[in-house]
Amino acid sequence: MIHTAKHDSDITVIRPGVDRLTAVNAKAFKDEVTALINDGASQLIVDFQDVTFLDSSGLGALVGVLKKIGHRGDLAVAGLTTDVAQMFKICRMDRVFTTYANVDAALQKMAENQ
């Protein structure tokens, strides 16, 4: 389901690989990202540029990933489409996640912070 690319500074970019991250596939998304974390990935960017819709289950899965990383690393989200950004805002998740306009901006900032 997910597609990953490892960049310099051990930052992993994750694309969910679906255009709708919902109750149908949220658990699979969380399980696959959790497996990456268990394998040592700790600097993660989730790229939402191809995701057109996100429901509360998708958001919940993302929160689960954030909790899994905890203080061991960092999780940012990038490329939020208009509707997905609105969903973050309605659910007050814009206060929880660090968001960037695109992956390049997220990569630059996370690399600077290391």
Partner 1 sequence: MTSKSFHMQNDLGDVDRMVVSLKTAVEGVLDDATMFKFEICASEALSNIVKHAASADKSDPILVQLSETKSSLNIAIFDPAGATPFDLRDHARDLDTVDPLAESGRGMGLIMQCADAVTYGSQDGRIGLILTFTKSGDF
Binding residues vs partner 1 (CB under 8 A): 20, 22-24, 53, 55-57, 59-61, 63-64, 66-67, 83, 86-87, 90-93, 95-96
- What lies within 8 Å, CB to CB, of 100 at 6+ separation is 45, 76, 77, 78, 79, 106, 109
Closer to partner 1 by Cβ: residue 90 or 101: 90
Closer to partner 1 by Cβ: residue 22 or 49: 22
Smallest distance, Å, CB 82 to partner 1? Answer: 8
Smallest distance, Å, CB 26 to partner 1? Answer: 9
Maximum Cα–Cα distance across the chain: 36
What torsion, rounded to 10 degrees, do the Cα atoms 50, 101, 5, 24 define?
Answer: -40
